[in-house]
Structure 1
Amino acid sequence: MELNSIDIESIVKQVISEVSGDKGQEVKGIDRVSSPVVPKRAKVAMLTEKRKIEVKEFEIPDISDDEMLIKVEGCGICGTDVHEYKNDPFSLIPVVLGHEGTGEIVKIGKNINQDTVGNSIGIGDKIVTCTIPCGECHNCLTMSDRDNLCENSGIYGLIADDDKKFNGWFSEYLIIRKGSTYFKVNDMDLKTRMLIEPAAVAVHAVERAKSTGLLSFNSNVIIQGCGPIGLMVMAVVRTMGVENIIAVDGDINRLEMAKKLGAKHTVNFRHYKDNEQLKLRIKEITKVGADFAFQCTGVPQAAANIWGFVKRGGGLCEVGFFVDNGNCSINPHFDMCNKEITAVGSWVYKVSDYPITLDFLRRAKGINLPVNDLITHEYPLDELNEAMDTNMKQTGIKIAYVNK
């Protein structure tokens, strides 16, 4: 076998990395920005018009000293991706979607040597990205501990097309820009890594719920909506030790998954003629109503109904409305004041939620919660239109793109 200088350099890198025991360490004498495995051109799945994703090929640009190039391994498909795919509510077209992604560092700028929490990183490390706070808006300047409320926050997969091209995880490669937040996750398998971002949404929601002081070991907790986020919220609540969990949904398969993730009771709302009958069933289970409820659907009527499931003095967290799906009507007297309900909203996640999320996923695995089973379908890059269709039909739970 003939070896050229690039092959020899690659072997030397691997040997030194294995001897050092830390892939994140910089190796003296080796250019950390080079990689023998990176092609000159790569493909992206670009949303070019509503309901139309096209695979396009572009030249991979050089990265700066403050950037990284990631070889994409996989990315979950989010409800937000579907909203953008159907209606372009963010006016991003043309855009490369995908924000639940993960991959391997193949090029790294000389100014980068650690992730957001100080772990050493280098070529070969597995990574996930979080948000890109602007650091300049009023909220960033006055509420530094709530960077999820940044007015100009960026997130890969929701960045409009520009000269970099590789802006979303629905691609073969991703360029991570200066100012980004990212975490090394070498100890996690691909499926788990693809679930980190939705898990962070769930962790943030539960942290918001905990801020009310109404969530404890013996709480009766309702989770309405057993899509990927609702089921992940359920898993987070279960890892906290809460056992009295009630799942409400209209899909048999999702309710079965809810049982696997810790629901003691499942309620199929389709079996009840109206919300009053559904409320009676909830009271039958809880005696007086839920101590706390998570509303995880994007359905206005469901957002109105859930107030009736909560007991006097209970709490509620609204998780389900990331985009404008319309208004709902509640009765302020009966739904809020008379019962003195404490309600909180939850908006994506903070950068500081990510380390908590990683610990949650490790804990979930430790107690044998099958969170990886949430991923039911995998598609290659050139079948992302079909993947979106599967998501919209709700024939699975979590749909994912995997770069094989």
Structure 2
Amino acid sequence: MVRAAVLKEVGRLEVEDFPRPEVGGKALLMRVELCGICGTDIHLYHGRLRVPLPIIPGHEFVGRVEEIDDEARGLEVLGNPLSEGDLITVVPGTSAFCGACYYCRFVPQRPTLCQNRRVLGVNMSCRQPPHLYGGWSEYLYVDAGHWWVYRVPEGMPPEVAVLTEPMAVSTRALERAFEPGFPTAGEGFGLGSTVVVQGVGPIGLLAVAAARLMGAGLIIAVDGIDRRLEMAERMGADHTIDLKAYGTMEERVAEVERLTGGVGADVVVECAGAPAAFPEGIAMTRRGGRLIEVGHFTDPGGVEIRPHLICWKDIDILGCWAYPPAQFRKALKALEMGLGEELPLKELVTDRFKVEEAPEALSYAEGREGLKVAITP
């Protein structure tokens, strides 16, 4: 039998035993080593996303191949052979079952918009066999014919590889700020750009690291938790703005302007997921700059904004909904580069809980006690 934490209904998370599944064609069984707890998991618990319950939560996972069908051995997306014992990570979302909706047909370059997208640990019920469709479990069942499987680079430890999914979110957010064409035009994100990251939880911390690795000039991190701000500095932030010391939006915007010579940031990445951060991000963005909104995966409500400011500043505001499957390749490379630059990526997972302790782990993560909280068998 396989133990897993199951979200039975909104607000009810229980540990349940499932039969160990037989591995079918083009499939593999992954023994989970670590699975991060994400803000999405908290939203799922509180019913802020419509999903077919019951589900096994957990979409940020890394583990080792336990069993594998012969047809799946050649399905690693970069062409690496897969064998028992290999450390792997899997892109949780796939549009491979669709191909027929409006977005698959007419906007194929953005697969996350697929209307029939399936996401392990988010919208796949565990009611029917093989059941194990989420990472808060001892094992994860992976259909390698439909989900992208990546072999983790040699020497990368599981506590870093588990950051692949959130790093995919963070790197794609920064890439949304890229401007094709003439670098001398000074549009979007580029070498030496000034970047503000609002909210330095795990996604924001990795956005700071990614901005540093991508060649940002000045990086400013905004948060109200000392531990996060300290880690942001170690990840590459040049300055931090503490919400406790700068208690109003006006004070924080003034500090960003002071640090940027009165101009504002070239790029602002909103990772806080708090509606009030959005108009503040607009105010922190320089004229002609870009604001990337990545923090609001669910809808916590609205906020008042001044449309005139958007026009007067002539700024670009870009949303960011997850990432394409190919983003994992860049995320893994960014993590490799970060290890090479001796960024403290190994320290980002601060707390580990057993599958049986998943309810306590979720409560702990919601209380923002640690940086990245993870489930481990």
TM-score interval for Structure 1 and Structure 2 normalised by the shorter chain: over 0.9
Distance 1:56 1:301 in 2: 39
Task: State the Cα distance separating 1:186 from its structure 2 match.
Answer: 4.8
1:382 aligned counterpart, secondary structure: helix
Deviation at 1:401, TM superposition (A): 0.7
Alignment of 1:91 with 2:51, yes or no, is yes
1:201-350 mapped onto 2 (5 Å cutoff): 201-211=169-179, 213-287=187-261, 288-334=263-309, 336-350=310-324
Report if the CA contact (8 A) 1:222-1:247 is conserved. yes
What SS class does the counterpart of residue 54 from structure 1 fall into? Answer: strand
Tell me, in whole angstroms, the C-alpha distance in 2 between the residues paired with 1:124 and 1:373.
25
Query: Offset of 1:93 from its aligned partner?
Result: 2.3
Residues 90-140 of structure 1: per-residue CA shift (max 9 Å, x gap): 233211000001111122123222312222112221111112113332212
Which of 338, 345, 353 is matched with 2:327 structurally?
353
Letter in 1 for 2:116: N
Counterpart in 2 of 1:183? 150
**Is 1:114–2:75 an aligned residue pair?**
yes
Distance in 1 of aligned mates of 2:375 and 2:52: 21
Aligned letter for 1:60?
R
Q: CA deviation at 1:148?
A: 1.9
Deviations 1:342-393 (A, max 9, x none): 1211111111111111111111111111122211111111111111111111
Alignment of 1:4-153 (within 5 A): 41-87=1-47, 89-112=49-72, 113-130=74-91, 131-133=93-95, 134-153=98-117
Whichever residue aligns with residue 297 of structure 2, its letter is F
How many residues were matched structurally? Answer: 362
Contact 2:2 2:139 in 1 (8 A): yes
**Is the contact between residue 75 and residue 170 of structure 1 (CA under 8 Å) also seen in structure 2?**
yes
Q: CA deviation at 1:76?
A: 0.5
Aligned equivalent of 1:38 = none
Cα distance change, pair 360–308 in 1 and its aligned pair in 2 (3 A): same
Question: Could you tell me which residue of structure 2 aligns to residue 168 of structure 1?
Answer: 134
Partner-residue secondary structure (3-state), 2:304 = coil
> SS in structure 1 opposite 2:206?
helix
Structure 2 gap ranges (5+): 181-186
How far does residue 240 in structure 1 lie from its aligned partner after superposition? 1.1
2:184 is aligned to none
Amino acid at match of 2:120: Y
Give the letter aligned to residue 268 of structure 1. D
Q: How big is the alpha-carbon RMSD for the aligned residues of Structure 1 and Structure 2?
A: 1.4
Whether contact under 8 Å (2:48, 2:298) holds in the other structure is no
Q: Distance in 2 between matches of 1:347 and 1:167?
A: 21
Task: Describe the shift of the 1:327–1:88 C-alpha distance in structure 2 as closer, same or farther (beyond 3 A).
Answer: closer
Q: Distance in 1 between matches of 2:196 and 2:369?
A: 24
Separation in 1, partners of 2:58, 2:259:
40
Report deviation, 1:88. Answer: 5.2
Q: Per the alignment, do residues 152 and 116 of structure 1 end up closer, same or farther by CA in structure 2, a change over 3 Å counting? A: same
Stretch moving more, 107-116 or 228-237: 107-116
Q: How far off is 1:85 after superposition?
A: 1.3
CA distance in 2, matches of 1:71, 1:135: 30
Residue 115 of structure 1: SS of its match in structure 2?
Answer: coil
In the alignment, residue 265 of structure 1 is paired with which amino acid?
H
Structure having the higher Rg: 1
Q: Are 1:51 and 1:385, in contact at CA under 8 Å, matched by a contact in 2?
A: no
User: 2: distance between equivalents of 1:92 and 1:226?
Assistant: 31
Match of 1:366 among 340, 344, 369: 340
CA contact (8 A) 2:350 2:371 kept: yes
Q: Which moved more, 1:362-371 or 1:274-283?
A: 274-283
Contact preservation (8 Å) 2:89, 2:149: yes
> Is residue 270–residue 281 contact of structure 2 (8 Å, CA) maintained in 1?
yes
- The one-character-per-residue Cα deviations of 1:117-175 (angstroms, maximum 9, x if unpaired) are 22211222111111211333221222332212222111211111222211101111111
8 Å Cα contact 2:161/2:332 also seen in 1: no
Aligned-partner Cα distance in 2 for 1:232–1:361: 9
Gaps of 5+ in 1: 1-40
For normalisation by structure 2, the TM-score amounts to: 0.92
For the 8 Å contact 1:140–1:150, the answer to whether it is kept is yes
- Cα distance in structure 2, aligned partners of 1:88 and 1:69: 30
Query: Percent identity, aligned pairs only?
Result: 35
TM-superposed deviation, 1:51: 2.9
* 1:122 alignment partner AA: S
Give the Cα–Cα distance (whole angstroms) in 1 for the partners of residues 191 and 348 of structure 2: 25
Q: Alignment partner of 2:67: what SS? A: strand
Shift of 1:87: 2.2
Q: More deviation in 244-253 or 107-116?
A: 107-116
Residues 1:328 and 1:239: Cα distance change in structure 2 (over 3 Å) = same
User: Which residue type is aligned with residue 153 of structure 1?
Assistant: R
Show the counterpart of 1:155.
119
